[in-house]
Amino acid sequence: MDQAAVVDLDDCAREPIHIPGAIQPHGLLFVLSEPDLTILQVSENVEALLGLPAEELLEHDLSSFLNANQIEKVQFALNSVDPGESNPVELALGTVDQDAKLDGFVHRNDGFSYLELEPVALTQGSHFLDFYRRVSHLTTKLHTASSLNELFNEATTGIRAMTTFDRVMIYRFAESQEGEVVAESRAGDVDSFLGLWYPASDIPEQARRLYLLNPIRNIVDVDYVPVPVLPVINPSSNRPVDMSFTGLRSVSPIHCQYLKNMGVAASMSISIILDGRLWGLVACHHRAPKFVPYEVRKACTFIGQMLSGEIARREQIEESAYQSHATATQAKFLELMAGSPNPLLGLVSSSPNLLNLIPAQGVAIVQGDKAHLLGETPGYDDLMELVPLLQGAGVSSCFVTKSLKNHFPLTEGMRDTASGLIALEIQREPQTYVLFFRPEVAQTVLWGGNPEKPVVTSEDGFSLGPRKSFEMWKEEVTGQSLPWTKSEIRVAQELRNLINVVAYSK
């Protein structure tokens, strides 16, 4: 990729999507100053929906279009500890043609109060009770799921039943920020995206930040015409209004085109957040425009929070089980090493051994010019070449990689047994190392389009645009092993400390 294309990718990553200066047209936005709730900015469609020109509202208070009872409800919500918890604010405000009633939604951000108006949801009476039962049933299924796969499948199936989207997917981010579709529920005539990977550039960093701040977003119609907020510059702050928490926020036109290329007319996303990081998304797609009422969005936000908690809980259970196993195994290692003339030798010749501690295909203990091998490892000559490479590079006492050839090209020939390596330096002189090996995993990654071509040519040269093809792109990943987990790396570091205390402390 040439420099022009790289520059355009950087520009996309800096796109100020939190200050688009416009909203989606199915609702209204008012930016207010407190305490008098003066209207500083308003969306241009206020005249079309309420019959009131924007210029007649600006610098006036809410009494310009709300009665005293309605204003009291807005003020009560804003006076709450968390204004968002008071939503929706029941205003039942009529539109010009009376084809809809509008309720209010309030929040605070950047020193201002925000009032959004959206169509009233029809989830009253028996409809609401039926909806509540659906949510309750789904939360029970999530809590009792026996595995992560079952959890994901229950979540996608339940959210699709609750929202009636054509396709609901769970999209999980890898450490390198690419994303994989790990679960899916879809209508029978909708294409499957299950198992596809999408490049990190599909969701740039500033979009990920917004997913953390605002955990749900509904794009009602990808063909919508953005409605400007007037005036563009907030007269109090002298900058565009920050819409990070605004449900009506207009989205990037690049993203809308991206969805069109997938045959999607409406979408909704629900953030999956673990320990303050964006673990993934629940992505919902529809082939026709689709407005999701606030109550349904709120329920989906709750489901997203519960899903996040269940993922974290299961990961913690797995982590605790592995740590308990590691602690017990290390205690047995202590017995094996105690009093032995060569404490390290028992770790590969006895039971349990080092491969019972850390999942690997092979392990080697190198002591000077001797090597003790277990499982699938490089040969003796290769090991005697590898250790000086590690020493010469000045690697840390615990060196970890899933692609050894990327660090040391001379090890290319070892990739069948040593694409992945954990190297524990026990002593420098004589050279003493514990080496865990993983072989190459020749993964065929199915990309939703070519990850190497996120830019397209235009009349002006290069410009960033969504890929025009979502056909699977096969990329052979060579010279890489399965990654080492944080738990495995921590256990390896504990092992090094144990060996040094037992075998080499004086």
Cβ atoms 219, 24 nearer than 8 A: yes
User: Cα dihedral sign for 263, 265, 271, 277?
Assistant: positive
Q: Do domains 11-315 and 338-440+481-503 have the same CATH topology?
A: yes
**CATH-assigned architecture of domain 338-440+481-503:** 2-Layer Sandwich (3.30)
216 - beta bridge partners? 270
Helix (H) or strand (E) holding 316: helix 294-337
> Six-digit token pair at 230?
């007037």
For residue 3, what pLDDT is reported? 39
Detail the DSSP E strand segments found in 357-477.
Answer: 362-367, 370-375, 398-401, 420-427, 432-438, 443-448, 455-458, 461-464, 472-477
Q: Can you state the angle between helices 125-144 and 294-337, rounded to 10 degrees? A: 10
Per-residue pLDDT of the chain (506 residues; tens, 9 = 90+): 343 334 344 445 556 677 888 999 999 999 999 889 999 999 999 999 999 999 999 999 999 999 999 999 999 999 988 898 899 999 999 888 877 789 999 999 989 999 999 998 654 444 667 778 888 999 999 999 988 999 999 999 999 999 999 999 999 998 878 899 999 999 999 999 999 998 888 888 889 999 999 999 999 999 999 999 999 999 999 999 999 999 999 998 888 988 998 899 999 999 999 999 999 999 999 999 999 999 899 999 999 999 999 999 988 888 899 999 999 999 999 998 987 888 899 999 999 999 999 999 999 999 999 999 999 999 999 999 999 999 988 877 899 999 999 999 999 999 999 999 999 999 888 889 999 999 998 878 888 888 876 766 655 555 556 777 778 888 888 888 988 988 999 999 999 999 988 877 65
Instruction: Say which residues have a Cβ less than 8 Å from residue 234's Cβ, sequence separation at least 6.
Output: 31, 40, 41, 112, 240, 241
DSSP reduced 3-state for 270? strand
User: Cα dihedral sign for 254, 255, 259, 265?
Assistant: negative
Boundaries of every domain in the chain: 11-315, 338-440+481-503
User: Closest by alpha carbon to 371, among 321, 280, 437, 453?
Assistant: 437
Q: What are residue 429's phi and psi, to 5 degrees? A: -130, 120
DSSP reduced 3-state for 4? helix
User: Closest by alpha carbon to 307, among 270, 351, 337?
Assistant: 270
CA 205/CA 12 separation, integer angstroms: 10
User: Closest by alpha carbon to 222, among 186, 253, 191, 187?
Assistant: 253
**pTM above 0.95?**
no
What b/e string do you get for 365-387 counting C-beta neighbours within 10 Å, with b at 16 or more? Answer: bbbeeebbbbbebbeeebbeebb
> Six-digit token pair at 302?
């709750």
For residue 134, what pLDDT is reported? 85
| Number of neighbours of residue 191 by Cβ within 10 angstroms | 12
**CATH-assigned architecture of domain 11-315:** 2-Layer Sandwich (3.30)
Q: Which amino acid is at 421?
A: L
For residue 67, what pLDDT is reported? 95
For residue 1, what pLDDT is reported? 36
CA 129/CA 88 separation, integer angstroms: 18
User: Closest by alpha carbon to 310, among 188, 482, 141?
Assistant: 141
Residue listed under structure tokens 């003796």: 380
Q: Which amino acid is at 199?
A: P
For residue 15, what pLDDT is reported? 62
Q: Which amino acid is at 85?
A: E
